[in-house]
Amino acid sequence: MAKKMGIVALLLFGVYLLCMYWYIFHSGGGTVPKVFQGTVADPVMFMSEKELFLSGEYSKIRNFLFFIATPLEWLVYAFILLTGISRYFEKVATAQTKWKLLRNAGYLFLLSLLLYLVLFPLDYYRYYLSKSYGISTQAFSSWMRDGIIDFWVNFGTSLIVVSVIYWLIKKSEKRWWLYTWLLTIPFTIFVMFIQPVVIDPLYNDFYPLKNKELEAKILSIADQAHIPAEHVYEVNMAEKTNALNAYVTGIGSNSRIVLWDTTLNRLTDNEILFIMAHEMGHYVEKHIYFGIAGYLVLTLGGLWLTSRCMRWVIRRYGQVLKIKKMGDIASYPLFLLITSILLFASNPLTNYVSRYQETRADQYAISLTGDRESAVTAFQKLTISGLSEVNPQLLVKWFRYTHPPMLDRIDRVAEKEGQKKEAPVKEEQKKEQQKQ
Neighbours of 233 (CB within 10 A): 16
- Contacts with 418 (C-beta within 8 Å, 6 or more apart), sequence order: none
DSSP 134: T
Q: Which amino acid is at 216?
A: A
DSSP 403: S
In whole angstroms, how large is the CA radius of gyration of the chain? 24
* Rounded Cα–Cα distance for residues 122 and 147 (Å): 13
* Rounded Cα–Cα distance for residues 274 and 279 (Å): 9
* Rounded Cα–Cα distance for residues 87 and 330 (Å): 5
* Rounded Cα–Cα distance for residues 63 and 69 (Å): 10
Neighbours of 246 (CB within 10 A): 20
**Rounded alpha-carbon distances, angstroms, from residue 243 to 57, 134, 240, 264:** 17, 9, 9, 11
241, β-bridge pairs? 136
Closest of 177, 157, 162 to residue 104, by C-alpha: 162
Beta pairing class for 246-249 and 256-260 = antiparallel
Q: Which amino acid is at 212?
A: K
Q: For Cα atoms 406, 410, 414, give the angle at the middle one, nearest 5 degrees.
A: 175
Handedness of CA 286, 290, 291, 293 (dihedral sign): positive
* Rounded Cα–Cα distance for residues 41 and 410 (Å): 5
Neighbours of 237 (CB within 10 A): 23
Q: For Cα atoms 7, 12, 13, give the angle at the middle one, nearest 5 degrees.
A: 95
Contact 237, 204 (CB under 8 A): yes
Q: Which amino acid is at 399?
A: F
End-to-end, the C-alpha distance of the chain in Å comes to: 74
Question: Which residues are the active-site residues?
Answer: 279
* Rounded Cα–Cα distance for residues 262 and 239 (Å): 9
